[in-house]
Amino acid sequence: MENPLQFKDLGLDNRLLKNLAHYDFKQATEIQKIAIPVAIAGKDVLASSKTGSGKTLAFLLPTLHKALKTKAFSAKDPRAIILLPTRELAKQVYGELRVMLGGLSYTGTLITGGENFNDQVKALSRHPRFIVATPGRLADHLEHRSLFLDGVDTLILDEADRMLDLGFAPQLRHIHKAAKHRRRQTLMFSATLDHAEVNDIAAEMLNDPRRISVGVSNEQHKDIRQRFYLCDHLDHKEALLDRVLNDADYRQVIIFTATRADTERLTEKLNEKKLKAVALSGSLNQAQRNTIMSQFERTVFKILVTTDVASRGLDIANVTHVINFDMPKHTEEYVHRVGRTGRAGNKGDAISLVGPKDWDSFKRVEAFLQQDIQFDELEGLTGKFKGLKPRQPVRKDQGQAKSVKSQAKKVAKKPVKRDKSFYQNVAVGDNVFIPKKKVAPKVDEE
């Protein structure tokens, strides 16, 4: 039998192998086996592999290896910039970076929103060699000239698609331009990279990249058991949630809701029932967010109720269950949310509650996963809702006048709800501009 590839076979510097001893694994995961040698060879990389498959080390190890083996372009500028969509994720990756920097003479720093700007200016004036950051705040520092990126030899975008979803394209471009030179290497990673916007930014930022894809993003994750329940309304959802939590032999659970307000409401309800739950949302200040995450990691709370602010990247060992109390608006977030469990070879459970309001999102997830999803039922909790009929497509052969009329009738019956940005974008006498999607408030993610 072929020997499993170990980290020591990947040509990594011995000092990194020594630091890897901090972990109890020796064998590289599939994405690490493929991406590390390609990145060491200096190629740009556009890589995807399933959640929990060790992408962080797949980009950290070759980046540090390069720093150990080659001379820096500049005496002061950072050598590597690692960008992530959320503060919590940046913090986690920074933690892994610190482990890998153990015993080396390099320094690293964490630059995220929500922290004191001047403290960060001070930290940057000490010329850290590795920076883990969220894009908004890093771009602010560029603007403020607290750092320069001319000497960057590696730029890494983790969860690149999410950063784009959150509207960070301008900041990413700004950072890219500031660090633009012929010898820069760029690495992009995510579990879901097949979106048009990612291709555009990859075409701009990557130079003849090697595409690495381990499995496909919509492939069933074999370590995550996925179940779906139909629900009639909110009370029904809550009854199902109670039952699921009661029946599940969980260690820790992450429950995803649609909005910040929902996280708070649901957390209160769970606490009334003496379940130890805590809410994490972008409306809290950073100190509160840090405290909550650290308490959850130490299992002070068994249940974390949150929004998509926590859907990406977070690696928390005890999460045995993920519950979609509401289905996600962005389809790929389904893959990322359920990927908070079943990580690094462990098993996990994902449960989704699908009410009438979730139906469209559910159908998109079903199409994305290319599965014919069957619903499960819980005794005594079967509702009436069985899904919505697909909308009738407008037939081409319908007369123009008729179709306009029928549409007008529809509008009169049910006014179309628009978000605020719709009205803000309407200028008198101008063409009406309808934003394709609502840009999430930055404060939620940065």
CA–CA separation, 437 vs 419, rounded Å?
10
Q: Could you please report the per-residue DSSP string of 243-255?
A: HHHHH---SEEEE
Per partner kind, with CB cut-offs from 5 to 8 A, the member of Mg ion, ligand ADP, none near residue 29 is: ligand ADP
**Applying CB under 6 A, does 315 fall inside the site for ligand ADP?**
yes
Whether residue 233 contacts residue 205, with contact meaning beta carbons closer than 8 Å, is answered with no
Task: State the minimum distance, in angstroms, from the CB of residue 313 to ligand ADP.
Answer: 6
Task: Work out how close the CB of 221 gets to Mg ion at its nearest, in angstroms, rounded to a whole number.
Answer: 14
Q: Is 55 in the site for Mg ion (CB under 5 A)?
A: yes
> How many residues sit close enough to Mg ion to count as binding (CB under 5 A)?
2
Q: Binding of ligand ADP at residue 51 (CB under 6 A)?
A: yes
Q: Is the CB of 228 or the CB of 256 nearer to ligand ADP?
A: 256
| DSSP code for 172 | H
Q: Are strands 130-133 and 277-280 parallel, antiparallel or unpaired?
A: unpaired
Given the rule CB under 6 A, which of 47-55, 172-180, 219-227, 432-440 is the region that contacts ligand ADP? Answer: 47-55
Nearer to ligand ADP, 87 or 260 (CB): 87
Q: Which one of residues 19, 48, 56, 306 is an interface residue with ligand ADP (CB under 6 A)?
A: 56
For ligand ADP, the closer of residues 29 and 257 by Cβ is 29
Of ligand ADP, Mg ion, none, which one does residue 53 interact with (CB within 5 to 8 Å by kind)?
A: ligand ADP
Instruction: Name the percent of the chain in helix, strand, coil, to the closest 5.
Output: 40, 15, 45
Residue 418 φ/ψ, nearest 5 degrees: -120, 150
33 binds ligand ADP (CB under 6 A): no
Q: Is residue 62 a contact point for ligand ADP (CB under 6 A)?
A: no
Q: CA-CA distance, 391 to 292, in Å (whole number)?
A: 42
**Options 25, 122, 170, 183; binder of ligand ADP; rule CB under 6 A:** 25
- ∠ CA(135), CA(137), CA(139), 5° rounding? 65
Residues of this chain, 306-335, that bind Mg ion according to CB under 5 A: 313
Tell me the DSSP string of 299-318: TS-SEEEE-GGGSSS---TT
User: Count of residues binding ligand ADP (CB under 6 A)?
Assistant: 17
Q: By C-beta, is 168 or 189 nearer to ligand ADP?
A: 189
Q: Does 300 bind ligand ADP (CB under 6 A)?
A: no
199 binds, options Mg ion, ligand ADP, none, Cβ within 5 to 8 A by partner type? none
Give the three-state DSSP class for 224. Answer: strand
Contact (Cβ atoms closer than 8 angstroms) between residue 85 and residue 168: yes
Look at residues 176, 171, 174 and name the one whose alpha carbon lies nearest to residue 187. 176
* Binding residues vs ligand ADP (CB under 6 A): 23, 25, 27-29, 32, 51-57, 313, 315, 343-344
